[in-house]
Chains A and B, each alone.
Chain A
Amino acid sequence: MRFLRSVAAPVVGVAVFAIVWELLVQLLDVRRFVLLAPSAIAQEFLDQPSFYLTNTAVTGRHMAIGLSLSLAVALVAGALMAAWRFVEDAAQPVLILILVTPWVAYMTSVVIWLGFGEQPIIFMVAFTSFPVFVFGVVGGLKSADPATRELFASVDARRWEVLWRLRLPSALPSIFTTLRFALGLGLAAAYFSEGSALQIDGLGAIGRRAALDQTSGAEVLWTTIACSAALGIAGLMAISAAERWLLRWHASQR
């Protein structure tokens, strides 16, 4: 019964979704660029699997490097903000500015600044996810139990001990929650930036070229979309696995 729920139910859900999609496209005769039938996407992927897998790996790498850099810097910035109220108050408006400004708008400027290639892509992934990470880290670091903080103070624990042994583990649940949001942002930023940075490889790059190709572009475009979705799901699964391991002590994992 439990197996049925945890494995069979999602499979049934996805299958029903695909069938309805397929039927709608066939019955309503939807144009290929508007929506491609799942069977046609599968066909396109199976025609040249290594091409799509290589490009998915390239996009995955851009996303992973960008998110890791962003998280690393956010941990340092978040620790400073959690330790000094002044730093937090000063950083808050800047972070909100980054968060609300549409990154698609200044993408071209970033490409001119950093040149064509991987740098603008990784920068965009890191930059768009940065505020989200910082808010998650600061909120998490501050959530440490006050009674435990006093216990640490009662033996004059060093600042780094409070950070490393108390605040950082307390912040992990909120960091993982943020990571899920950042993954979606990072994937979108990677896909779009690859197209704008005139890259040769990457799902975004081949997707952008396919969008201009009237003859066989629809198949390629929709297959890159499907590959991006698969990449996102793989990323979420990796995050969940890491969470189960690192947060095995936490109430959410019991």
Chain B
Amino acid sequence: MAATRASVLVDEHDEARAGPPARSWRRARAVRSQPVTPRLELSAVAKTFGPTTRGGPTVEALAPTTLTVADGEVVTLLGPSGCGKTTLLRMIAGLEQPTSGTIAIEGAPPASARREKRIGFVPQSPALLPWRSVRANAQLLLDLNGRRRPPTSAPSVDRLLEEVGLSDFADAAPHELSGGMQQRVGLVRAFALGAPLLLMDEPFAALDEMTRADMRHLLIHLCEPLKTSVVFVTHSIAEAAFLSDRVAVMSPRPGSVVDVVDVPFPHPRQAVLEDTEEFFHLTTRLRETLHAGSRR
């Protein structure tokens, strides 16, 4: 399944590159049902920081990177800290400008995707507003910029809270929740928006190992029924292997994608997958790729 997806991707990629970005965006809006434009397309996106005003050095944070994410596909950016994975995610979210290259979300640049609320962002910290209840926090992205409604329909906030086991805490204050529960509210907040693209920046990094495992099982459970595309940044090999359809392995100095690994496991994915030999083989391969990348 992953293999066919990958081959389709190549075709889409070439076709979308044929026209200028602005035109393909309008075309995509006119005939959105046809899989002409990929959900997310990065073409030679690069980022250089500096030189600073005090004469600091120029740092190449990300070498030119090309990557495509199809509808409903989960792609993980896996790598050690300093490999530019968070920078890449922030550029996709439109929070940072690439130095060169183009980013297209359903054919549109990140700035307009943001305006139309097509991006569901999950930051590293839960970033809950302490004066809002759990339910009101989960509702936040829908409330903000309220005249814009995201294009797809999403399950209601209460449905999603039930889904993640927080029904009883809907009226609680965020500080009454544990770290894992707070991050679950962060996930619900992003899913409730109904955005076609979710961007997650190491959302489980601050959690303990056991809670982390629960969270990735919960995330796949939320993702699978909705055809949401996800770009997931992590430095956890197990997380990448379990969640992804493809893993983009990154390496530092300069940050770049060294390999894109297909994950062959079928959907729906169950927690027991992590105990299988195939899973072990994949994680081993990812680890080797990571090490090879950092030894360059």
> Which residues of A are at the interface with B, using a C-beta cutoff of 8 A?
145, 147-148, 150-158, 161, 165-166, 169, 249-251, 254
Chain B interface residue bracket vs A = 20 to 34
In the assembled complex, 23 residue pairs joining A and B whose CB atoms fall closer than 8 Å, in A order, are: A147-B124, A147-B125, A148-B127, A150-B121, A151-B123, A151-B127, A153-B114, A154-B121, A154-B199, A155-B117, A155-B119, A155-B144, A156-B117, A156-B145, A156-B148, A157-B144, A157-B145, A158-B144, A165-B144, A169-B129, A249-B173, A251-B175, A254-B175
B125 touches A154 (CB 8 A): no
Contacts of B121 in A (CB 8 A): 150-151, 154-155
- CB-nearest residue of chain B relative to A161? B144
Known: A151-B123, A155-B141, A161-B144. A166 touches B129 (CB 8 A): yes
Tell me if A's interface is mostly helix, strand, loop or mixed: helix
Q: Which residue of A lies closest to B195 (CB)?
A: A155
The distance from the CB of A234 to the nearest CB of chain B, in whole angstroms, is 27
Q: Which residues of B contact A251 (CB under 8 A)?
A: 175
Please name all residues of chain A whose beta carbon is closer than 8 Å to the beta carbon of B115 when the two chains form the complex.
156
Residue B266 lies at the interface, judged by CB distance under 8 Å to chain A? no
Most chain A beta-carbon contacts within 10 A, residue among B121, B124, B173, B199: B121
* Chain B residues whose C-beta falls within 8 Å of the C-beta of A153 in the assembled complex: 94-95, 114
Q: Considering the chains assembled together, what is the distance between the CA atoms of A147 and B203 in angstroms?
A: 12
From A152, A154, A169, A249, B119 is in contact (CB under 8 Å) with A154
Q: Does B250 belong to the interface (CB within 8 Å)?
A: no
| B5 shortest CB reach to chain A, Å | 27
A173 to chain B, nearest CB (A): 11
B-to-A contact residues, CB < 8 Å: 93-95, 114-115, 117, 119-121, 123-125, 127, 129-131, 140-141, 143-145, 148, 173, 175, 193, 199
Give complex CA distance A165, B144 in Å: 9
Q: Which residues of A are found within 8 Å of B144, using beta-carbon distances?
A: 152, 155, 157-158, 161, 165
Which partner residue on chain B sits nearest A150 by CB separation? B95
> 7 smallest A-B Cβ distances: which pairs?
A154-B121, A249-B131, A157-B144, A147-B127, A148-B127, A147-B123, A156-B114
User: Which residues of A are found within 8 Å of B130, using beta-carbon distances?
Assistant: 249-250
CB distance from A41 to the nearest CB of B (A): 44
When C-beta atoms are compared, the residue in chain A nearest to B147 turns out to be A158
Asked if B127 and A145 sit within 8 Å, CB to CB, the answer is yes
Q: Roughly how many angstroms separate A169 CA and B92 CA in the complex, as a whole number?
A: 29
| B131 surroundings in chain A (CB, below 8 A) | 169, 249-250
Give Cα A147–Cα B145 distance, bound, in whole angstroms.
18
Give the chain B neighbours of A150 by CB distance below 8 A. Answer: 93, 95, 121, 123, 127
Q: Is the CB of A148 within 8 A of B129?
A: yes
Bound-complex Cα distance A150 to B145 (A): 14
Smallest beta-carbon distance A153→chain B, Å: 6
Q: Which residues of B contact A166 (CB under 8 A)?
A: 129
Cβ-closest chain B residue relative to A148: B127
Nearest chain B CB to A194's CB is how many angstroms away?
Answer: 39
Which residues on B sit within 8 Å (CB–CB) of A156?
114-115, 117, 145, 148
Distance in angstroms from A164 CB to nearest chain B CB is 11
Give CA–CA (A250, B175) in the complex, Å: 9
A155–B117 CA distance with the chains assembled, in angstroms: 5
B95 & A161 in contact (Cβ 8 Å cutoff): no
Residue of A nearest to B119 (CB): A154
Within 8 Å by CB of B145, from A148, A161, A254, lies: A161
User: A195–B94 Cα gap in the complex (Å)?
Assistant: 60
- Which residue of chain A lies nearest to B118 when distances are taken between CB atoms in the complex? A155
* With A155-B145, A156-B148 already in contact, 18 other A-B pairs whose C-beta atoms are closer than 8 Å: A145-B125, A145-B127, A147-B124, A147-B125, A150-B121, A151-B121, A151-B127, A153-B95, A154-B114, A154-B119, A155-B117, A155-B119, A155-B121, A155-B141, A156-B114, A161-B144, A169-B131, A249-B131
* A220 shortest CB reach to chain B, Å: 47
Contacts of B199 in A (CB 8 A): 154
Q: Considering the complex, give the chain B residue whose CB is closest to the CB of A152.
A: B144
Give A151 Cβ to nearest chain B Cβ, in Å. Answer: 5
Of listed A152, A158, A166, residue having the most chain B CB within 10 A? A152
State A250–B132 Cα separation when bound (angstroms): 11
Q: Is A158's CB under 8 angstroms from B145's CB?
A: yes
Find the B residue at minimum CB distance from A254: B175
The answer for the CA separation of A238 and B114 in the assembled complex, in Å, is 43
| B215 CB → nearest A CB, Å | 18
How distant is the Cα of A169 from the Cα of B132 in the complex, in angstroms?
10
Q: Whole-angstrom distance between the alpha carbons of A148 and B125 in the complex? A: 9
**What chain B residues lie within 8 Å of A250 (beta carbons)?**
130-131
- Chain B residues lying within 8 Å of A254, measured Cβ to Cβ, are 175
* A155-B114 CB under 8 A given contacts A249-B173, A250-B130: yes
Residues of A within 8 A of B143 (CB): 165
Q: A169 vs B136: C-alpha distance in the bound complex, in angstroms?
A: 15
Assess whether B193 is in contact with A155, with CB atoms less than 8 Å apart.
yes
- Give the residues in chain A near B95, CB-CB below 8 Å: 150, 153-154
